[in-house]
């Protein structure tokens, strides 16, 4: 067994103060000396002379010889130099101990050897100082904050607990906490947070009356320990007291596979209950819901378009995000205006202590950020991303615009597509960008002002040329398809945070959001029949959708005691939406110009009558001006801890949505959607009711979680086209209008996770059913567009020293769709004639099963002091190049349908370089 040497010095500082003291010694102590000895003897000398706790393996370190003259160099410089010259690293733990490492994964083993050595020698001493006096105060409350020691950034959802008791709590979004009924002023408070070393503070008669600040030190990035549920120590976590809640730490996203760069929304798609097969959207398809039914809030304002580049990038730059929470259903009364789920995103405040910078480069985009301390009270964060049109970018656009083309028979058309396939010619052109700015000003210890700004935009040109094949009929010719789309978001907020006392704090926002989506699509060309007759044709559509949302809200939290917490507040907003849909430059089919004011209040009580039972009743009421009605939404959730392994949980609630992204059915070119406001006539306020229940089992190594849900939906809206008249032979016109329907969704989600070790990951399976019923399509329920009956995901991660390997396999049954069966001639609203389809039953057909395998490998770049300064990553998307269909387009020509399968990406490699510096 290798020998272990330790020089241990016990002092009376608080736990995190050990590391601060060690860092001060390293930076302030200068050495002017000539050393000629082995490295182990040099470390012995430094330990004794400067009272440092240094742990290393003598057998490994003694083989290195040192012959160096240091001329008034800092001790930190000395350690850096001797370690770098001998391929070693050093790491300072929060207890002040310095570990000398040959590999970063040696840390856990050295710490264990250190403990065994001290136990054998009888030198084990507590790192937390013993009480200096007998207890003087009992059953009092304390408050404070948890921050990153290096940057000063607040850490939300950190866990605080009183040692040897059941008293615990979590920090809020601003990193603040309050604990009640503390047994005595000699207790120890413990703070823990994912990716950080645990910190402790011994209470005394003096500090219980001050703000307790936990300065957390980051943990060395070693074992890939990912916890999805239960204890908050991994990439994704949840609160066991709440149902269907996922919490994500963007800093840990590099442990998960990705296509281009770290993506906070796509990471959620790897979990059960969140659809993962829609590559064309980062939007959340949660438990049978659609992306517009998922409320996405960034620093208090709403984001309406959540992705870039066909969904390969989310709208959110992970370098500008501090934490993310996804509520999969039955969510708190704090949130409203959506039927399905909520995604809450909080931006970084920026580094308060020193300037830091970073850049991420890939074959798709460049991503740069800067965090700047402007003064001792203010900080600024700037982040910017932009795509560039390299080989991989072209591949993505060619994949979506060069597709398998088939033709149905001529004459009466009809029948399933048949015949051979051929490619379209495409000149892809597109780009996106987004920018984030966040300014934080701390007026004093209890008040701060934060200004947040976001802007993002996409421009795509999907124009292409389609040659009419000779086997279609006796005609020849071509079709030129023009397809331009641009869309974007702008959002901003001003937040005032105030800690009124230990028990009460508030966040008050003024918010602004805007969104636009403009698309022009047309088809033109000529066809020549066998007699030499040439016919010209041209048709097209133009869509414009823009939205503005101005609001104010105030959210209050009153921690009455350890048993009761009251959440309450008020809100008001003004929305304006315009949408126009014009066909052939002459017929305005839709022309919506709506505005609405809404406002209301909410209240929610969190009750913990015992350390096992948690109850959370709430209510939200909203007055909506267009209907003149007050909408009341009761909510309730509960959880019960059966024992240390089993937890039961349940939730229910009523939810209303006043603004919807309505689907405009387009069987020929693919469905489109647009935002509209509910009114008092043909677009009603949507409603949903949730019923959820689950059970989880957790031990040190594994987690099994099972949840079931059932949702009913009413007053859903869809815009569609239907013929009027006696049938294909006598039809004279078409009718286009908004239609109202109902829906229902049910499912069971199973998660099995391995939490610890070099190999981690999880398996998930979802059995689900999402159905809608619109009278225009018949009297029976049919599969909703987003319905997926079976979905299986296998996430595998393996950590080997600085390497992180991952493999993700996803399988699901196909999405439903509607197809044309036969064609006929109709008269359009502008008086012209055109060919239209008789179609199959609504969503009666399904695309083939979806499946793919993604692989990735990431190598961490580590400084001599153990801090991560970047990474190099290789990702392989859809490794075995399986063809997955996105949707089908149908082009009418001479009573025949040319069918185009628009496919998702095939095999796609990507390389990403990330660098960080200060």
pLDDT higher than threshold 80 for residue 277: no
196 and 218 Cβ atoms separated by less than 8 Å: yes
pLDDT at residue 232, rounded to an integer: 46
Report the range of poorest mean pLDDT among 193-202, 270-279, 905-914.
Answer: 270-279
pLDDT single digits (tens) 412-429: 333 333 333 333 434 446
Per DSSP bridges, beta strands 702-724 and 659-664 are: parallel
Euclidean distance between CA atoms 751 and 792, whole angstroms: 10
Euclidean distance between CA atoms 690 and 713, whole angstroms: 9
Which residue, among 94, 117, 115, has the nearest Cα to 18 in the 3D structure? 94
pLDDT at residue 387, rounded to an integer: 86
DSSP secondary structure code for residue 48 in this structure? H
Largest CA distance in the chain: 108
Per the prediction, the chain carries an average pLDDT of 82
pLDDT higher than threshold 80 for residue 259: no
pLDDT at residue 12, rounded to an integer: 32
pLDDT at residue 732, rounded to an integer: 44
pLDDT at residue 511, rounded to an integer: 97
553 and 496 Cβ atoms separated by less than 8 Å: no
pLDDT higher than threshold 70 for residue 123: no
550 and 576 Cβ atoms separated by less than 8 Å: no
Model confidence at 461, pLDDT cuts 50, 70, 90, reads confident
**Which strand (E) or helix (H) includes residue 84?**
helix 75-85
Greater confidence (672 vs 844) lies with 844
Model confidence, pTM? 0.85
- Structure tokens belonging to residue 151: 């940057």
* Average confidence (pLDDT) over 811-826: 81
* E strand residue ranges, 240-355: 245-248, 294-298, 301-302, 307-308, 313-314, 321-327, 341-347
* Average confidence (pLDDT) over 743-752: 95
Which residue, among 836, 841, 853, has the nearest Cα to 816 in the 3D structure? 841
90 and 864 Cβ atoms separated by less than 8 Å: yes
Model confidence at 820, pLDDT cuts 50, 70, 90, reads confident
* Average confidence (pLDDT) over 333-342: 94
Bridge partners of 753, per DSSP, are 703, 762
pLDDT at residue 480, rounded to an integer: 76
Percent of the chain with pLDDT over 70: 81
Report the range of poorest mean pLDDT among 99-108, 693-702, 895-904.
Answer: 895-904
* Average confidence (pLDDT) over 231-238: 54
Separation of CA 480 from chain center: 39
* Average confidence (pLDDT) over 306-318: 81
Model confidence at 120, pLDDT cuts 50, 70, 90, reads low
* Average confidence (pLDDT) over 591-612: 92
pLDDT higher than threshold 80 for residue 811: yes
Give me the DSSP letters along 742-756.
EEEEEEEEEEEEE-S
Which residue, among 679, 680, 619, has the nearest Cα to 655 in the 3D structure? 619
pLDDT higher than threshold 50 for residue 502: yes
Euclidean distance between CA atoms 798 and 805, whole angstroms: 5
- CA torsion sign, 6 to 10 to 16 to 20? negative
pLDDT higher than threshold 50 for residue 409: no
Report the range of poorest mean pLDDT among 169-173, 459-463, 548-552, 700-704.
Answer: 459-463
pLDDT at residue 174, rounded to an integer: 84
Separation of CA 292 from chain center: 16
Greater confidence (23 vs 426) lies with 23
Model confidence at 909, pLDDT cuts 50, 70, 90, reads confident
Euclidean distance between CA atoms 386 and 743, whole angstroms: 39
Which residue, among 370, 387, 388, has the nearest Cα to 379 in the 3D structure? 370
pLDDT at residue 728, rounded to an integer: 44
* E strand residue ranges, 813-904: 816-817, 820-827, 833-839, 845-846, 850-862, 868-877, 885-893, 896-903
pLDDT at residue 383, rounded to an integer: 96
* Average confidence (pLDDT) over 788-811: 91
Bridge partners of 603, per DSSP, are 568, 619
Model confidence at 448, pLDDT cuts 50, 70, 90, reads very high
Give, in degrees to the nearest 5, the angle at Cα 791 between 788 and 796. 150
Greater confidence (393 vs 207) lies with 207
Which residue, among 807, 794, 788, 906, has the nearest Cα to 849 in the 3D structure? 788
839 and 289 Cβ atoms separated by less than 8 Å: no
Euclidean distance between CA atoms 876 and 905, whole angstroms: 11
pLDDT single digits (tens) 715-737: 998 887 655 444 444 444 555 67
- Structure tokens belonging to residue 337: 């205006």
Euclidean distance between CA atoms 313 and 315, whole angstroms: 6
568 and 715 Cβ atoms separated by less than 8 Å: no
397 contacts: CB under 8 Å, gap ≥ 6: 426, 428, 429, 430, 460, 462
Model confidence at 826, pLDDT cuts 50, 70, 90, reads low
DSSP secondary structure code for residue 418 in this structure? B
Percent of the chain with pLDDT over 90: 35
Per DSSP bridges, beta strands 659-664 and 672-677 are: antiparallel
Greater confidence (396 vs 682) lies with 682
Euclidean distance between CA atoms 242 and 649, whole angstroms: 7
Which residue, among 254, 251, 188, has the nearest Cα to 218 in the 3D structure? 251
Which residue, among 259, 287, 258, has the nearest Cα to 272 in the 3D structure? 287
Model confidence at 200, pLDDT cuts 50, 70, 90, reads confident
* Average confidence (pLDDT) over 563-579: 94
Euclidean distance between CA atoms 664 and 659, whole angstroms: 15
Q: Helix (H, G, I), strand (E, B), or coil: what is residue 116?
A: helix
Which residue, among 48, 917, 900, has the nearest Cα to 399 in the 3D structure? 900
pLDDT higher than threshold 80 for residue 807: yes
pLDDT higher than threshold 50 for residue 906: yes
pLDDT at residue 256, rounded to an integer: 67
pLDDT at residue 744, rounded to an integer: 96
Euclidean distance between CA atoms 365 and 848, whole angstroms: 32
């Amino acid at each position: 067994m290798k020998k272990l040497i330790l020089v241990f010095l016990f002092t009376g500082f608080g736990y995190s103060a050990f590391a601060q003291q060690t860092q001060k010694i390293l930076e302030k102590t200068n050495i002017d000396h000539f050393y000629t000895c082995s490295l182990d003897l040099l470390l012995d000398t430094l330990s004794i002379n400067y009272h440092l706790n240094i742990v290393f393996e003598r057998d490994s370190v003694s083989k290195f010889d040192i012959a160096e003259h240091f001329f008034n160099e800092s001790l930190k410089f000395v350690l850096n130099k001797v370690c770098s010259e001998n391929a070693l690293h050093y790491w300072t733990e929060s207890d002040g101990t310095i570990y000398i490492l040959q590999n970063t994964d040696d840390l856990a083993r050295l710490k264990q050897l250190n403990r065994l050595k001290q136990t054998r020698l009888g030198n084990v001493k507590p790192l937390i100082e013993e009480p200096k006096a007998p207890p003087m105060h009992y059953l009092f409350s304390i408050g404070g904050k948890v921050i990153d020691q290096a940057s000063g950034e607040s850490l939300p959802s950190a866990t605080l607990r009183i040692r040897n008791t059941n008293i615990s709590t979590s920090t809020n979004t601003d990193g603040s906490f309050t604990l009640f009924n503390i047994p005595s002023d000699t207790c120890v408070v413990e703070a823990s947070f994912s990716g950080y070393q645990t910190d402790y503070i011994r209470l005394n008669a003096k500090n219980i009356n001050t703000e307790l600040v936990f300065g957390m030190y980051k943990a060395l990035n070693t074992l890939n320990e990912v916890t999805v549920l239960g204890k908050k120590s991994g990439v994704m976590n949840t609160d066991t007291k709440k149902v269907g809640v996922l919490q994500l730490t963007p800093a840990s996203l590099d442990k998960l596979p990705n296509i281009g760069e770290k993506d906070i929304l796509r990471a959620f798609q790897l979990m059960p209950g969140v659809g993962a097969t829609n590559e064309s959207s980062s939007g959340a398809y949660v438990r049978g819901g659609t992306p517009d039914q998922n409320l996405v809030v960034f620093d208090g304002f709403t984001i309406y378009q959540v992705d870039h580049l066909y969904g390969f990038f989310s709208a959110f730059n992970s370098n500008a995000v501090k934490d993310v929470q996804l509520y999969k259903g039955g969510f708190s009364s704090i949130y409203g205006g959506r039927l399905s789920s909520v995604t809450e995103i909080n931006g970084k405040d920026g580094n308060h202590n020193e300037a830091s910078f970073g850049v991420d480069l890939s074959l798709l985009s460049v991503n740069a950020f800067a965090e700047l301390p402007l003064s001792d009270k203010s900080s600024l964060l700037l982040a910017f991303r932009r795509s560039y049109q390299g080989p991989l970018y072209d591949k993505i656009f060619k994949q979506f615009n060069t597709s398998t083309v088939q033709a149905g028979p001529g004459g009466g058309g009809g029948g399933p597509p048949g015949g051979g396939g051929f490619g379209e010619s495409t000149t892809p052109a597109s780009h996106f960008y987004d920018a984030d700015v966040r300014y934080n000003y701390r007026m004093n210890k209890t008040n701060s002002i934060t200004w947040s700004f976001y802007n993002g935009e996409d421009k795509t040109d999907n124009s292409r040329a389609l040659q009419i094949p000779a086997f279609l009929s006796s005609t020849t010719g071509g079709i030129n398809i023009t397809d331009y789309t641009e869309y974007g978001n702008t959002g901003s907020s001003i937040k005032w945070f105030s800690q009124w006392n230990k028990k009460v704090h508030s966040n008050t926002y003024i918010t602004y959001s805007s969104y636009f989506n403009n698309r022009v699509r047309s088809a033109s060309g000529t066809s020549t029949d066998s007699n030499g007759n040439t016919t010209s044709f041209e048709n097209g559509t133009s869509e414009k959708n823009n939205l503005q949302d101005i609001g104010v809200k105030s959210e209050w939290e009153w921690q009455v005691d350890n048993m009761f917490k009251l959440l309450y507040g008020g809100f008001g907003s003004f929305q304006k939406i315009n949408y126009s849909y014009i066909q052939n430059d002459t017929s305005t089919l839709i022309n919506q110009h709506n505005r609405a004011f809404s406002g209301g209040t909410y209240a929610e009580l969190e009750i913990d009558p015992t350390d096992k039972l948690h109850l959370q009743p709430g209510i939200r009421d909203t007055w909506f001006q267009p209907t003149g009605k007050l909408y009341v939404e009761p909510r309730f959730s509960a959880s019960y801890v059966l024992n240390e392994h089993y937890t039961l949980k349940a939730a229910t609630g009523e939810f209303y949505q006043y603004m919807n992204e309505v689907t405009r059915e387009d069987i020929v070119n693919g469905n489109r959607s647009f935002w509209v406001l509910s009114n008092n006539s043909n677009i009603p306020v949507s409603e949903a009711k949730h019923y959820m229940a689950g059970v989880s089992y957790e031990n040190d190594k594994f987690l099994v979680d099972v949840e079931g849900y059932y949702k009913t939906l009413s007053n859903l809206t869809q815009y569609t086209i239907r013929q009027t008249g006696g049938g294909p032979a006598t039809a004279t016109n078409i009718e286009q209008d908004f239609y109202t329907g109902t829906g229902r969704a049910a499912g069971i989600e199973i998660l099995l996770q391995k939490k610890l070790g070099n190999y981690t990951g999880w398996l998930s399976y979802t059995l689900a059913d999402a159905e809608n019923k619109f009278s225009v399509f018949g009297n029976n329920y049919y599969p909703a567009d987003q319905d997926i009956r079976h979905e299986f995901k296998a996430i595998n991660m393996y950590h080997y020293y600085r390497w992180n390997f991952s493999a993700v396999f996803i399988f699901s049954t196909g999405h439903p769709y509607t197809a044309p069966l036969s064609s006929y001639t109709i008269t359009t609203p502008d008086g012209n004639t055109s060919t239209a389809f008789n179609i199959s039953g609504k969503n009666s057909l399904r695309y083939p099963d979806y499946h793919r395998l993604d692989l990735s490998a990431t190598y961490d770049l580590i400084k001599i002091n153990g801090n991560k300064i970047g990474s190099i990553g290789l990702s392989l998307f859809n490794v075995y190049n399986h063809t997955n269909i996105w949707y089908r387009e149908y082009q009418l020509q001479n009573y025949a349908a040319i069918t185009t399968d628009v496919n998702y990406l095939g095999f796609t490699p990507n390389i990403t370089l990330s660098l960080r510096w200060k």
